[in-house]
Structure 1
Amino acid sequence: MIATADTMAVRLKQSPKPTRTLVCLGFCGGGTATYHSWIPALPADVDLIAICYPGREGRFAEEHAQTWSELAADATRGVASIANGTPYVLFGHSMGGWMAFDVTARLAAMGAPAPAALVVSACNAPDRGVTEQDRFLAQGQDDEELLDWMRTHGLLPEHVLSEPELVEMAVELMRADLRARDSYAYAAGTRVDTPLQVFSGDRDPVIEDGVGSRWAGLTTGAFLHDVLPGGHFYTPDVWRNLPARIASLHPHAPTTF
């Protein structure tokens, strides 16, 4: 199966006259459906696109990416396929935050349109490398431990839980993402010129002290760091309304870049 722009970049919301587009990258085990709940929180003139990684949803017939480099190259193609008109904001949560940073750097290297802003959520700065703190989900954990985490964070809808084959696929997908994550290596000296906003939870055990200042050193652009209530996915209400906190989607707000 050959990936197309439509299968790589899934449009979840389309406005009659969009002024910008929010483009979202997935976290470990996540897919494009994660971002459906954000639609009501988006400004009327903002479109929503989620990048679909290989091996899931409309790309289920493709092989999972085996390495970070392979996955990042694929995600970069997906973002580049829609970066040809309306200004866009690139968002990533957890592993997706590292992916968003890497994709932004790759787009700059290839001369493709850069995002108007980069937003990373619930992830440590990538220049410290993948540490045991980041491996809060590990390849060595058994299936039931991974499933329990996915259930807790709403990654397994009822229709999946009721089908053993779908549950098996969900675990396989999670393990593929963990393998890719663990092969990530920050390229020394990499920085971006894009305005950068960082979100972190005040009770997230994954996030290290000083995460804001460390991320600030990775951009030459404007920088914001917002600490939000809750753990790795904040609180349900905060997660559902996170687009309302993305400064670059509200250019006339007092907290904008």
Structure 2
Amino acid sequence: MTRAAVESAWISCAGRRPAATVRLFCFPYAGGGATAFQPWSTRLPANVEVWPVCLPGREQRLFDPAYTSLDDLVRELRGELAGPIAGSGVPVAFFGHSMGALLAFELARALRDNGDTQPSTLVLSGRAAPHHVTGRRLSALPDDEFVAAVQRFGATPAAALDDPELRELCLPMLRADFTMAETYTYRPGPALDLPLTTWSGRQDRGATPDLVEKWAGYTTGPVRHHTFPGGHFFLHADGSVFDALSEDLDRGR
């Protein structure tokens, strides 16, 4: 059994695939968790084994303190995942959406910089290239305004934030995630050398296709871009993302 086949607090398998030729590590968006990627196992070919990344502060890790620094989280992720990635026995790919795209990218850089095994390919979705700074600070808003802003993104079920008890549980994690994404600062460094694919939603006003495509400058490897119908959370609404993802993963093998 390879180390990557062992689940931990940080990674879980969405469905064992004995014939897997690639393991896909999925990094969640702000407020998201591993369960968002569990159904992907049944939507992707049998050669893809899906491993959602379980961040502190949500789901089964609800009472673990959520991170507010992306640098600190990447440092911890590298320590937890470098071994499983190196011992996987098959290529490993990273997928990240929104905040998860930053995590996937910075973890790939941290693995490279420390001489660890790197992912075979990156698929970065719903996030402008890291040098783009919006200047907005939703995380600093009062609770009611912050909740309203988060709900406008459309991913968090309204019931989870309308119910006072659920809201009390969700808010610290949500605010921590938004703080982490909004205070992130890109530090220039050597480009990665691997295939990189970007995804964007045609109606996403925060991560417009032209801003997402600028990730192409962060690798010396081959790049491609997909634009899908929909807004920021197009990946939950358009089934064609799975065909595109299958093609993207094939490029990295």
Normalised by the length of structure 2, the TM-score is: 0.85
Q: CA deviation at 1:228?
A: 1.1
Give matches, 1:70-81, under 5 Å: 70-81=72-83
Residue of structure 1 equivalent to 2:210: 210
Match 1:119 to one of 108, 123, 144: 123
What is the one-letter code of the residue matched to 1:97? A
Segment drifting more, 197-206 vs 34-43 = 34-43
SS of the residue 1:210 aligns to: helix
Counterpart for residue 179 of structure 1: 179
Q: Which residue, 107, 111, 116 being the options, matches 2:111? A: 107
Q: Answer whether contact 1:5 1:81 (CA < 8 A) is retained.
A: no
- Aligned to 1:113, the other structure's residue is in SS state coil
Q: Which runs of 4+ in 1 moved over 4 A?
A: 160-163
* Contact 2:38 2:52 (C-alpha < 8 Å) held by counterparts: no
Letter of the 2:41 counterpart: I
TM-fit CA distance, 1:142: 3.5
After TM superposition, give the deviation of residue 151 of structure 1 in Å: 7.9
**TM-aligned CA distance change 1:38 to 1:157, over 3 Å:** farther
Identity over aligned pairs, percent: 30
Match of 1:139 in 2: 139
In structure 2, the CA distance between the partners of 1:163 and 1:211, relative to structure 1 (3 Å rule), is: closer
Distance 1:61 1:23, change over 3 A: same
Q: Which residue is equivalent to 2:91?
A: 87
Q: Work out whether residues 107 and 113 of structure 1, in 8 Å CA contact, stay in contact via their aligned partners in 2.
A: yes
Residue 66 of structure 1: which of 65, 68, 71 is its match? 68
Q: Which amino acid aligns with 1:28?
A: A
| Change over 3 Å in CA distance of 1:231–1:219 after alignment to 2 | same
Q: Secondary structure at the match of 1:188?
A: coil
Partners of 1:150 and 1:82 in 2: how far apart?
35
Relative to its length, the structure with more helix (as a share) is 2
8 Å CA contact retained: 1:38, 1:241: no
Q: Show the counterpart of 1:31.
A: 33
- C-alpha deviations, 1:79-109, integer Å up to 9, x for none? 3242122211101101111111111000101
Per-residue deviation, 1:64: 1.7
Read off the aligned partner of 2:134 and give its amino acid letter: T
- Residues 9 and 78 in structure 1, CA contact (< 8 A), matched pair in contact too: no
Please report the TM-score for the alignment, with normalisation by the length of structure 1.
Answer: 0.84
Q: Secondary structure of the equivalent of 2:37?
A: helix
Q: Residue in 2 aligned with 1:153?
A: 154
Cα distance in 2 for partners of 1:213, 1:174 equals 27
Contact 1:229/1:235 (8 A) holds in 2? no
Is 1:229 aligned with 2:233? Answer: no
Contact 2:192 2:221 in 1 (8 A): yes
Offset, 1:207 = 2.1
CA contact (8 A) 1:8 1:51 kept: yes
Q: What is the SS of the residue equivalent to 1:12?
A: coil
Deviation digits for residues 112-167 of structure 1 (CA, Å, limit 9, x no counterpart):
11111000001100023x323xx4x7113343444443486342386x46863332
SS at match of 1:203: coil
With over 3 angstroms needed to count, the CA separation of the structure-2 counterparts of 1:241 and 1:157, relative to structure 1, is farther
> Which residue does 1:11 correspond to in 2?
13
How far apart, CA to CA, are the structure 1 residues paired with 2:201 and 2:73? Answer: 26
Q: Displacement of 1:190 after TM fit?
A: 4.1
The answer to whether the 8 Å contact 1:55/1:61 transfers is yes
Q: State whether residues 71 and 180 of structure 1, in contact with CA within 8 Å, keep that contact through their aligned partners in structure 2.
A: no
Tell me how far apart the structure 1 counterparts of residues 174 and 244 of structure 2 sit (CA, whole Å).
28
Segments of structure 1 that go 5 or more residues without pairing to the other structure are none
Q: Which residue of 2 aligns with 1:165?
A: 165
Structure 1 pair 35/151, CA: closer, same or farther in 2 (3 Å)?
Answer: farther
